[in-house]
Amino acid sequence: MLRLSPAWRLLLPPFLGSVTIPAFLSRRDSSDAPDRFRPRPAESPGEATFLLDRLFDRANRLLMSAAVPSRKRTGWSYADSELSYGPPEFAEKERLVADALQRIQCGSVLDVGCHTGHFSLLAARHGARVVAIDRDPDAVGALWRTTTQNNLDILPLVIDIARPPGACGWANQEVPSFLDRARGGFDCILMLALIHHLLVAERIPLERIFELVAELTTRWAIVEYVDPMDLQFQRLARGRDALHSNLTTDSFETAIQDRFRIAAAHDITPTRRIYVLDKEVT
């Protein structure tokens, strides 16, 4: 960093304290001094606590100052990102999901395809501990900033559910895969405005999607059906409508009923429906 940075930058924070001074002090150390790496324990627990607090506080300030600003999106929000929703329809979707969360009272929620986290925030405000995943780093970053500013119990992660990260470390056994850690770890799974993406863009069979949902949740799931006649579905399909001609509410519900009982179903628009699913009785 010392070699790469211009001279003026090295004299300004945070480079002065993080690069310039440490580099200068390290040059003063004698490389062959026998006690160069001798442990220097704190003289008391209070001193150790003070030093650690200072260290973590400074690290946090550096992290926050290095955060990448979110990209400007002209006239864009989660509510209008789905082309089939106007404000009244989106408000109805929000009400239905909020009512379901209030009724089932989940302690933990996995929001798959969370985007900027509108419904992750809703679940957290209903008392749930939320893990929110999406493959878009910008969206997850925006949710992380909102979560940090509001001190909410949400863990945002950049994860593509169609290609989740595998196990890693020595012999692939130090850190289990995401799915191994997530299976059976949540009271409720949210999959809102996502399943049609998995069907069209990833070509995942509907039965396999609900198989995974059933593995991830201990009981509940809230999912959204998007009909092939929906404008957003047709934009994704790009003329390949024949590949999805067998997708109907009946076939969707048949795939559900192999793993779940349909506890509730509500139409939001003529082409979109919210389902509340219960795994306890199938």
Domain at 261, CATH number? 3.40.50.150
What average pLDDT does this structure show over 17-45?
Answer: 78
CA atoms lying within 13 Å on the CB side of residue 32: 0
117 and 229 in a single domain? The answer is yes
129 and 253 in a single domain? The answer is yes
142 and 59 in a single domain? The answer is no
48 and 167 in a single domain? The answer is no
CB atoms within 10 A of CB 114: 29
Domain that holds residue 127: 84-278
- Dihedral of CA atoms 186, 188, 193, 196 in degrees, nearest 10, equals 70
174 and 212 in a single domain? The answer is yes
More reliable by pLDDT, 32 or 63: 63
How many separate domains does the chain show? 2
How does DSSP classify residue 71? Answer: P
Q: Residues 116, 78: contact at Cβ < 8 Å?
A: yes
What average pLDDT does this structure show over 113-128?
Answer: 95
Residue 72 lies in a domain: no
Residue 73 lies in a domain: no
Residue 184 lies in a domain: yes
Q: Residues 207, 257: contact at Cβ < 8 Å?
A: no
146 and 180 in a single domain? The answer is yes
131 and 170 in a single domain? The answer is yes
Residue 74 lies in a domain: no
Residue 196 lies in a domain: yes
127 and 242 in a single domain? The answer is yes
179 and 47 in a single domain? The answer is no
Torsion 49-51-53-59 (CA) sign: negative
Residue 76 lies in a domain: no
CA separation for the pair 222, 58 (Å, rounded): 41
CA separation for the pair 237, 208 (Å, rounded): 20
Chain centroid, CA 3 distance in Å: 37
Residue 36 lies in a domain: no
CB atoms within 10 A of CB 183: 16
pLDDT of residue 77: 43
> Which residue, 59, 63, 71, is CA-closest to 148?
63
pLDDT of residue 32: 64
Chain centroid, CA 259 distance in Å: 25
16 and 149 in a single domain? The answer is no
pLDDT of residue 41: 86
> Which residue, 202, 179, 198, is CA-closest to 255?
198
Judge whether residue 263 has pLDDT over 70.
yes
State pLDDT tens for residues 195-222: 999 999 999 999 999 999 999 999 999 9
Judge whether residue 104 has pLDDT over 80.
yes
151 and 212 in a single domain? The answer is yes
57 and 104 in a single domain? The answer is no
Residue 19 lies in a domain: yes
